[in-house]
Structure 1
C-alpha cells in the first residue's frame, strides 16, 4: 500500500519526518515523479517484486478509495478468475460435466485460494497469471490438428507470462518448467520457432527491469535477509513454523506439508494426524498416481506429467535455496504453489480413475471425499471470525488501526494542535538497501496514507514515545488518540 498508493516505501521520507521537524499531509502527498517511485519500489519488500499488483492497488484505490475491503477485492477478483479459468480448461480435459463440476468444487473450497483471497498481497494475482500462462502454453504446443497454431494463443502466452513475472519473480520457475517440458517432448520446428520468438519478447522487459530497474536489488535483498534470518536463528534459536534450521528433518516436514496441500486427497492430513501419517499418505497417493498414469491414454498423461513438473520443480528449487541459506524461512507453499491448479486437476483425474473401480472401492473413496471436503471447509471458516487459521498466524485483530487513527484526528484536531507519532524501531530484518536508522517513521507514514493533502495537520515524530499517538493541544495538554500496546495492534 505504501509503495502502490503512497509512492514511498516503509522507512522512506526519512528526511521529511526526522525528529524535530514538522510536516503535514500535503508534504506527504507532494508529487515526486517517476524516479522517486522507482526508488521506493526498489527499496520496498523484495525490490519491485509486485509491480502488477501494486499498479492495480493504485488504480483501485484511486477510483474506489483506500479501505481494506476495496484493496483486498483485487485478490478476490483474481482468485475468481483463476477458478473460472480452471473450469474453462477442464472442459477441454474432461469430457463429462461430472468431473468438470468436481474440479470447480475442489477449487472453490481450496483453503489456499480462500485464505489468500482475503489478503491484499499479490499471491492471488500472480497465481492467475501463472495459470493463464500455462493454459496458453498448453494450447500453443498442442494445437487442434484442424486449427493449427493460433497467433492469439502465442500472444496470450507472451502477455500472461510477462504479467506473471511482474506479479512475482518466482513465477520465472513456471516458465522454466515450460522450457524443460518443451526440451523433453517437443519436436515441431514451427512450434519451437514460435516459442523462441515469444521467449525473447518475454525476457527483454523482465531483463531490463532486473538489471536497470528496481529488480536489480532483488538478489542483494534476498542474500541480506537470508543472512539476518540465519544470524537470528543462531543467536536466539528457532521460531517453530517460521525460522528453523534447514536440516533433513525440517525440510522433510516442510516438503510433506507443501506437497500434501497441493492435492485434495492429502490436503491437511499432516496437521490432523501428524507428519508421519501425512508422509505415508503422500507416498500412498504418489503410488496411486503412478499406477493411474502408467496405463493412461498418452494425450491426457502428458497433461498430468506437465502438471507434476510444474508442481515439483519449484519445490526442488526452494529446497536447494533453503539448504544454501541454512534456514527454512523461504520454504512455504505461497512460494511453491503456482502448480496448485494442476494439483486440483490431478486430484479430480485420480477421482475419476478411482470411481471406475469396483463398488466397494467407490464407496470408500466417496466417503473419504465427503469427509475431506468437510474438513477443508472448516480449515478456512475460522478466517471469518479472525481465529486461528491455515496459512496465517493473524488472530484477534481489531479493524485497521491507521484508518481509525486518521478518522479520530479529523474529528478532534484544531488549529494550533500538533500530532505526535511514536518511533517504534524494529531492527530485525531491516535490509541494508532499505532506509533505516535510529528512529522509525512507519506509524506516521501509515496514518498519512489515510489522510489527504487538504488536512492541514501539523505533525512530528517523538522518539521518546514507542506506542502512543498523541494529539498535543496548543495549551500543552495531551489527548491519547491510540496506543499500539507494544506492537500488538500494528499490522
Structure 2
C-alpha cells in the first residue's frame, strides 16, 4: 500500500529517470564514432585492428565481406582485445557483443548500453542514499529526510554533464561507474548486516548472498575497467577503520581472494597477460614524448610529471568533479582575481557561521553576504561572472560540513567518510601513477569518473543545508548557483553540438559516421563485376607489441566499412596502392569511378 508521501517520491523519481533517459538519448547517434569507439566496435566483433587475425583475408589480391565476416573464435576476441584495448574491459565487450547481436550494428545501438547504464546510475544513486542515510535505519518511514536527499542526489546525477557526455560514448565508463556504485551499495549492506545492533530488514538479502553478489560485482567491475580497483581499495580502508568483526574480516578477505583469483585467470590465460607489458611500453613512449615533444605530438599536451605540471592538470579534474565548481579551474589562472574571490567567500562563510542560529541579527547582517559577494565584481579583471561563482565555493563547502555535523548520526558520519574517500582517492591514485610514470598523459576525468556518484551526494548535502539557512544568507548563494546552472545548461548544449573538447574529446563537430554512410551507398550501388577500392596509407606504429602485424599499410578504412556491409555479400574489394584518401567504386571493367567518400587526409578518419 503506497502512502501519499511514497507516491510523491515515486512520481518524482520516475520523472527524474524519464528526464535522465531523454537527456542521454537526445542526439546520441548524431555524430560519427571517434577513434576509441571504432576500436570498441571492432573488438566487440572479434576483429583485430589492422587485421592481425585476418591475414588470410587481406593478404589476397581481393576479398569479400563474406570472407571478412568469417566466424570468429574466442581467441579472436582475446586477440582483438589485446590489440585494441591492451586487454582491458573484456566484461564490457561481452555485454556489448550480446547487445549488438540482438539490436544490430549502428552508432545508436553501439552507444545504447552506455545510455542505459548512465540512466541506471540515477536510479541506483536514489536507492543508495535513501537506504544508507535514513535517520531511522532501514525500517524508517517514507517521510524520512533521506528521501529528499536521495531525490536531490538523483537530480544532480540526471543533469551532470560528465554522465550525459559519457552516455554518448561507446566505451566501458558508464557501465563501470554503475557497477562500482552497486559494489559500494552491497558493501555497505554487508557492513549493516554485521553490526550487532543493526535492525533486521526482510528486504535485505542474507549475508552469504551479499558476499556472493559483492564478489561477482568486484570481478565484473575490474574486468570492465582495471582502475575500478581504486573503489574497492576505498572499501578496504573503510573496513580497516570501522569493521571490528573478525568473522566478517575473514569472509571479506576470502571474497576478495576468490575474486582476485577469478580476475587473475584473465591475466594468466586471457588478454590481460599482455596488459602490464603494454602499460610499461606506453609509459616509456609517453614519457619520451613528454621530454622531447610535449605539445605537437598528435596525442595532446603531455608534460613531464613535475609537481607543478601535475598540479596544473589535477586542478580541473578536481574542480569539474563538483557540479557547483564545474569550469572554474580556468579562473584560478589569474591568481590575484582568484584570491580575491575566495577571500570574499571566506569572509561570507565566517559571517554565516557567526550568525547561523541567530533569528534576529543586527540589521547590517541582512545584506552583508550579497554585498561581500558582489563587491569583487569591479575589481575582477578576468571573467567576473565566473569569479562570482568561485566566491561561493568556500561557503558551499561549509554547507556540506554543516549538513554532516547537524543532519547525520554517528553511523552516517562514517558513511560520509567513505564518500570522501571515494570522491578523492581515484584521482589521487591517477596523480601517483602519473608521478611514477614520468608524464601527465593519464590525468583525465574519465579515469577517475568512479567518484562522480559520491560527489553528487556531497553536493546534494550542501544544497539541502542551503534550504535550512536564514533567507538573508541562502538567497544570495542560491542566486549565484542559478548562474552556475546556466553554465551547466550551456555545457550540455556544447555536448549536444559536439563542441565541448572537455567531454567530446574534440573541439570541432564530427560529421555522421562516414563508414556507415559509405557502406549504405556501396550496398545500393554495387553490381556484379564492380570493384571497391580502399585507401592505402602507410601505417604508423605506436606500440611494437600492440600495433605490429603483417600489413605495412593501414587496413583500418576497409575494416570499418566491412563492419557495416551485409555479412554474406560477395562484393569484390581490395586495398588500392594508388588511392590514399578515397573509397572508390569502379563500375564493371570500365574506367568509370565513383567516389564514395573522400577522407581528406585524416580529417574524417579519427572523428576529429
Q: TM-score, length-normalised on structure 1?
A: 0.92
Deviation of 1:209 after TM superposition, in Å, equals 0.6
Q: Where does residue 263 of structure 1 map in the other structure? A: 322
Structure-1 separation of matches of 2:71 and 2:463: 56
Contact 1:311 1:337 in 2 (8 A): no
Paired residue secondary structure (1:142): helix
Structure-1 separation of matches of 2:512 and 2:596: 15
Structure-1 separation of matches of 2:183 and 2:559: 37
Measured against aligned partners, the alpha-carbon deviations of 1:25-52 in whole angstroms (never above 9, x if no partner) come to: 11111114222222222222122x1222
Paired residue secondary structure (1:194): helix
Structure-2 separation of matches of 1:4 and 1:457: 23
**Partner of residue 91 from structure 2, selected from 52, 55, 76:** 52
**Partner of residue 407 from structure 1, selected from 516, 520, 533:** 520
Deviation of 1:290 after TM superposition, in Å, equals 5.5
Q: Where does residue 281 of structure 2 map in the other structure? A: 224
Structure-1 separation of matches of 2:544 and 2:429: 23
Contact 2:65 2:567 in 1 (8 A): yes
Structure-1 separation of matches of 2:395 and 2:454: 19
Structure-2 separation of matches of 1:101 and 1:351: 12
Deviation of 1:74 after TM superposition, in Å, equals 0.7
Paired residue secondary structure (1:244): coil
Measured against aligned partners, the alpha-carbon deviations of 1:314-364 in whole angstroms (never above 9, x if no partner) come to: 222211211222221111111012121111111111233343333322222
Q: Where does residue 335 of structure 1 map in the other structure? A: 447
Q: Where does residue 356 of structure 1 map in the other structure? A: 468
- Pick closer, same or farther for the CA change 1:369–1:142 going to 2, 3 Å: farther
Paired residue secondary structure (1:264): coil
- Pick closer, same or farther for the CA change 1:197–1:19 going to 2, 3 Å: closer
- Pick closer, same or farther for the CA change 1:83–1:100 going to 2, 3 Å: same
Contact 1:229 1:429 in 2 (8 A): no
Contact 2:400 2:465 in 1 (8 A): no
Measured against aligned partners, the alpha-carbon deviations of 1:458-481 in whole angstroms (never above 9, x if no partner) come to: 111123422111122322332211
Matches within 5 A, 1:278-357: 289=400, 293=404, 297-357=409-469
Contact 1:82 1:127 in 2 (8 A): yes
Contact 2:48 2:76 in 1 (8 A): no
Q: Which runs of 5+ in 2 are unaligned?
A: 1-39, 135-143, 343-389
- Pick closer, same or farther for the CA change 1:8–1:158 going to 2, 3 Å: same
Structure-1 separation of matches of 2:152 and 2:522: 51
Contact 2:303 2:439 in 1 (8 A): yes
Deviation of 1:19 after TM superposition, in Å, equals 6.2
Contact 1:3 1:41 in 2 (8 A): no
Matches within 5 A, 1:2-41: 2-13=41-52, 15-18=55-58, 21-41=61-81
2:298 aligned with 1:245: no
Paired residue secondary structure (1:43): helix
Which stretch shifts more, 403-412 or 231-240? 231-240
Structure-1 separation of matches of 2:69 and 2:527: 21
Deviation of 1:17 after TM superposition, in Å, equals 5.0
Q: Where does residue 540 of structure 2 map in the other structure? A: 427
Which stretch shifts more, 188-197 or 111-120? 188-197
Q: Where does residue 490 of structure 1 map in the other structure? A: 605
Which stretch shifts more, 316-325 or 121-130? 316-325
Contact 2:399 2:466 in 1 (8 A): no
Q: Which has the larger radius of gyration?
A: 2
Q: Where does residue 367 of structure 1 map in the other structure? A: 479
Deviation of 1:9 after TM superposition, in Å, equals 2.0
2:592 aligned with 1:477: yes
Which stretch shifts more, 130-139 or 416-425? 416-425
Structure-2 separation of matches of 1:266 and 1:459: 53
Contact 1:470 1:478 in 2 (8 A): yes
Q: How many residues align?
A: 490
Paired residue secondary structure (1:338): helix
Paired residue secondary structure (2:153): helix
Q: Where does residue 43 of structure 1 map in the other structure? A: 83
Structure-1 separation of matches of 2:72 and 2:41: 14
2:174 aligned with 1:124: yes
**Partner of residue 191 from structure 1, selected from 248, 273, 280:** 248
Paired residue secondary structure (2:575): strand
Q: Which runs of 5+ in 1 are unaligned?
A: none
Deviation of 1:111 after TM superposition, in Å, equals 0.7
Q: Which has the higher helix share?
A: 2
The alignment yields a C-alpha RMSD, in angstroms, of: 2.5
